[in-house]
Amino acid sequence: MKFAISFLPRTEIPTIRATASRASPKSTNGSHLKASSRSRKAFSLKAVAAESWSRWKASGPSATKATTPAASARKVALLCCHHLDRLRVLAIACVVRLNGGTIRQMAKPFPNSEAAWGLRAYLILIGCAADRQTVTYDALARRIKRGGPNLLAKPLAMITRWCQQHSLPALACLVVEQATGLPAPGFDAVSRDEIPREQERVLAFDWYAIFPPTIEELAED
């Protein structure tokens, strides 16, 4: 017993309906495969374009010879809207085929906000802590593409506040000035004398054992 499967395109609804018909061994001579192939071709981009052109011509002389550019544009817009869903289905099918049968979404970029820059700085700083290194303000600004070291005050303050709320070492103390090797004078999470000890606490802590903050958490006052 064999089953012949054909794909029937639908003009008004942009879906493909698969129907199974029972066929005897004698009748399965390849004709059903040819019919199935013709059905799939009818749902191609070329077929959609041909159908759009035929509808354009069938609508009368006023369609091919529009009195005004606006009327012609409206006609094109109506035809495009009619086939928009079918074209979208075809585009999705092409993407799925190119990606090996799976739909892949694009990675979401960081927004341009102080909290987002704070999270980007956090991710870099925990890497520095794992490597037992400090980083200068200039280098950190370049790595998170903030624009300059003077613009790091608010993102680093968000990191410091989040660390204090969760009883964690002051991660931002790893950001130091090139000349002194210490954080800028505006860093007040700990006293200046306690900065070396606080840096050791940061380097000894396993930052990869905890979840990083979210942008929303860093944005909280």
Specify if 106 maps to a domain. Answer: no
Q: Residues 122, 211: one domain?
A: yes
| Terminal C-alpha separation, the chain | 71
Residues 215 and 125 in one domain: yes
Q: Are 176 and 150 in contact (CB under 8 A)?
A: no
134 and 52 housed in the same domain: no
> Are residues 87 and 121 located together in one domain of the fold?
no
Asked if the structure places residue 107 within a domain, the reply is no
Summarised one tens digit per residue, pLDDT across range 3-55 is 444 444 544 444 444 444 444 444 445 555 455 455 455 555 566 566 666 76
Q: Which residue has the tokens 């979404």?
A: 105
Bridge partner residues of 176 (DSSP): 136
Tell me, yes or no, whether 68 and 26 share the same domain.
yes
- Residues 125, 38 share a domain: no
Let me know whether 128 and 156 are in one domain: yes
| Number of structural domains in the chain | 2
Pair (75, 169) in one structural domain: no
Same domain membership, residue 130 and residue 80: no
Domain that includes residue 176, residue range: 114-219
Q: In residues, how long is the chain?
A: 221
Q: Are strands 16-23 and 2-9 parallel, antiparallel or unpaired?
A: antiparallel
Domain boundary among the residues 44, 67, 98 is at 98
User: Which pLDDT belongs to residue 108?
Assistant: 86
C-alpha angle 153/163/208, rounded to 5°? 110
- pLDDT (0 to 100) of residue 150: 81
Residues of the chain predicted below pLDDT 50:
1-8, 10-28, 33, 36, 39, 63-64, 66, 95-96
- Do 190 and 125 have their domain in common? yes
Domain contains 139: yes
* Alpha helices by DSSP H, the chain: 31-42, 45-58, 61-64, 69-98, 114-130, 137-144, 153-165, 195-204, 215-219
Q: Are 189 and 162 a contacting pair, CB within 8 Å?
A: no
Residue 72 lies in a domain: yes
Residue 147 confidence (pLDDT): 81
In the prediction, which pLDDT does 86 show? 56
